[in-house]
Structure formats: structure tokens, C-alpha cells
Amino acid sequence: MDDLYRDFILEHYKRPRNFGELEPHDLEAHEYNPLCGDEIGVQIKVADGKIADLRFNGHGCAISQAAASIATEELIGMDVEEAAKLDADWMLALLGIDISATRRKCALLLLKALRHAITGDGSWPVGATD
């Protein structure tokens, strides 16, 4: 992994943005990665059809936690319906590194929880692989 991107990922892993609980919230969901048992929960406050605020919590590998932290910075302010349709390409582009097929679900765990919270559908985002 390129040093610059590794530092970017590690920095988010060590100091995750928007981590914790959000009270009150309008939507929430909790998901886990069946491959490893790592977990991410998300709580969302909605206003005027947009994500007004959001927090995530849980535990997992550096990729899952850093991806969640990085994603939350983009998600706050986004249209809720648009956020529910985000796919693997969106997340991987934000991460900016090559993620092997076996680690893809690490990177997509936050999106899975987000989509579950918004739509009730806890399936993996488009582009996830086994």
C-alpha cells in the first residue's frame, strides 16, 4: 500500500470522525461482517430529507473503521435516498487504495449498516464480493 494512503487510513482508524452515539436519532441499524464478526452500528438524524447528523460505533479492522470514518464525513448533508443507493465504487474511490476481494466487505460494512438504517434492507451494497 502506498505510504500516503496507508497514513490516511491509519489516521482515520486512530482518530475516527463521527464516532459514538447520537441522541436523539431518527434511524439506526447494526450490522456485522460474517467473515470475521466485526460490527458497525449507525445512528442518523434526518432533516428535510437529508442526513443532518450521523454517528457510527462498533469495532473492527483498520479498513472497516477507517472506511466508516471517511464515509461519514461525506454522508452528513447528503440526501437520504441518495445515500441509500451508494455502492462499492463510491466507497472504494473515497478510500483511494486497492482493496482485495477478501477485504471488500471490511470497506463496505458502514454502507451496509447505513442502507439497512434507511431502507430496512441489510443486504450488502452493489459491488460487494464474497
Distances (CA, A) of 110 to 2, 32, 64, 124, 130: 23, 9, 7, 10, 16
**What is the footprint of ligand FES within residues 21-40 (CB under 6 A)?**
33, 36, 38
H helical segments located in the chain: 3-14, 62-75, 80-84, 88-95, 104-119
With beta carbons less than 8 A apart as the criterion, state whether 40 and 60 touch.
yes
Q: Is the peptide bond before 125 cis (omega within 30 degrees of 0)?
A: no
Exactly one of 27, 63, 76, 80 binds ligand FES (CB under 6 A); which one? 63
Decide whether 8 or 52 has the Cβ nearer to ligand FES.
8
Exactly one of 18, 43, 57, 64 binds ligand FES (CB under 6 A); which one? 64
Decide whether 36 or 47 has the Cβ nearer to ligand FES.
36
For residue 88, the minimal CB distance to ligand FES (Å) is 14
Which residues sit opposite 28 in a β-bridge? 43
**What is the footprint of ligand FES within residues 71-100 (CB under 6 A)?**
none
For residue 49, the minimal CB distance to ligand FES (Å) is 30
Interface residues with ligand FES (CB under 6 A)?
Answer: 33, 36, 38, 60-61, 63-64, 106, 109
